[in-house]
Chain A
Amino acid sequence: QKEVEQDPGPLSVPEGAIVSLNCTYSNSAFQYFMWYRQYSRKGPELLMYTYSSGNKEDGRFTAQVDKSSKYISLFIRDSQPSDSATYLCAMSAGPNTGFQKLVFGTGTRLLVSP
């Protein structure tokens, strides 16, 4: 079993829909929870991150972490065709445990149709 599980999709939604992307994990040492966006044939780029449990909002994007359930989510409101990409969750125990080591999910491919 992988440390981080993520549904590969693809997830197809119409423009304007609310998108929910999720990951589960098994390592209770994880403290930092990240979402990366990867466009086709490009490198991943950090979208947002959350430390420990709670919510974080950035424009149309909201990240949620529930450490008790070992479950994280990314919500995209008013989805746009330009949001079509692969979304990878990533987790880390954090720099206090040593140098940064990110553990990634397999990524969910999102397709937003006009």
Chain B
Amino acid sequence: DTAVSQTPKYLVTQMGNDKSIKCEQNLGHDTMYWYKQDSKKFLKIMFSYNNKELIINETVPNRFSPKSPDKAHLNLHINSLELGDSAVYFCASSQRPSGGLDTQYFGPGTRLTVL
């Protein structure tokens, strides 16, 4: 069973288009994340939701809008795509413990190419 799944796996689109990436987790976790990994493998957090509430919102252009319809899903919509948006986007989930570290489980990634 896939723990954190993302669709689509690959996305090739033209500059200026609007696209969405979907994420689902079946781990029963209460927190989900979107990360962007650039061509140099640098992984940076974009957003985080806890129980459908936005809790982390890094400096990301307004063209990126996350949406969490329920605890198990976190989608990412991108408007007016630009060349610099080309990257691999990872979804992750975790369960916040009463103390200590909450392990984040990553999905397989969505490779976005903007032409």
Distance A104 CA – B42 CA, assembled complex (angstroms): 7
Interface range on chain A (Cβ under 8 Å from partner): 20 to 34
Q: Closest approach, in angstroms, between the C-beta of B5 and any C-beta of chain A? A: 10
- Shortest Cβ distance from residue A105 to the other chain B in the assembled complex, whole angstroms: 8
Docked Cα-Cα span, A106 to B44, in Å, equals: 9
Interface size on B, residues (CB 8 A): 28
Please, what's the 1-or-0 string for B14-53, where 1 marks a CB less than 8 Å from any CB in chain A? 0000000000000000010000000011111100101000
The answer to whether B108 and A102 touch across the interface, beta carbons within 8 angstroms, is no
- A-B interface contact total, Cβ < 8 Å: 68
For A101, give its contact among B43, B48, B103, B105 (CB under 8 Å).
B48
Task: Please state if A8 and B31 are interface contacts (CB–CB under 8 Å).
Answer: no
A45 CB–B CB distance under 8 Å: yes
Stretch at the interface among A13-21, A64-72, A92-100: A92-100
A84 to B100, CA, bound (A): 30
Chain B stretch 57-109: residues in CB contact (< 8 A) with chain A: 90, 92, 94, 96-97, 99-109
Give the chain B neighbours of A32 by CB distance below 8 A: 101
Are B104 and A99 interface neighbours, CB within 8 A? no
Are A43 and B109 CB-contacts (below 8 A) given A8-B41, A99-B50, A106-B42? yes
Bound complex: CA of A35 vs CA of B58, how far in Å? Answer: 22
**Bound Cα distance from A60 to B72, whole angstroms:** 35
Choice from B90, B96, B106, B108 contacting A100 with Cβ under 8 Å: B96
Q: A43-B109, A88-B43, A106-B42 are in contact. Are A100 and B4 (CB under 8 A)?
A: no
A99 touching B96, Cβ below 8 Å:
yes
Residue pairs across A and B with Cβ atoms less than 8 A apart, 15 shown, are: A8-B41, A32-B101, A42-B108, A42-B109, A44-B106, A46-B103, A49-B101, A49-B103, A94-B101, A95-B96, A95-B97, A95-B100, A100-B31, A100-B104, A109-B41
